[in-house]
Amino acid sequence: MNENVNANKGLWNEAARSGLVLGLISIVYMVLNALMTKIQSSGALAAVINVADILLWAAKLVLCIRLMKVFMQKFAADDSVTNSDSFRFGTATALLSALIYAGFSLAWMLFIQPDMFEDSMAAAMQLYEGMLTEDQLVSLQELIPRLPTIMFFVNLVWCWLFGTILAGIFSRNIPSRNPFEQPTEDQ
């Protein structure tokens, strides 16, 4: 029983470190993206910023996927780790990373850059003003104050599901096992 508690504690400790790294990468991307959005430009500079944003997003995605695999392989370096343990580690890492990112995005919308959020909502309301009825506009106005909380849960669930799917894919081969290996006496 004590071994299970220690193993579970070790899993969560490693997952916390890995989740922190993955969450910080997503936070850095979010901040850089917000800074690039603040640059008022048109023409060629706007096109360069859009391409840079797409390349930055792709780099973040590839880096997070690679790091998730590396963290899972590092966790599975011990011979006693099974594919199921590897999956649990990946899921815990995804959950903690998602919690860090979703928490920061909530803080970003409410405290760090609330004017950016309000400007975006004002622009959206102006855009939809001619397309929606008065009742729909009122409903949208009532939804705006709840949007940061909704976005917190959307980010949390989305990032956790994405990480869990990655963990499921990677855990099938982490740790890698040779199906043709002859069992030894201690197996």
The predicted pLDDT at position 176 comes to: 77
User: What are 57's two structure tokens?
Assistant: 């997003």
Domains of the chain, by residue range, sit at 2-171
- Which tens digits make up the pLDDT trace of 59-80? 999 999 999 999 999 999 877 8
- Which tens digits make up the pLDDT trace of 126-168? 888 888 888 888 888 898 889 999 999 999 999 999 999 999 9
CA 136 vs. chain centroid, Å, equals 32
- Which pTM was predicted? 0.85
Rounded CA-CA distance 11/96 in Å is 12
Backbone Cα Rg of the chain = 22
For the chain, give the mean pLDDT: 88
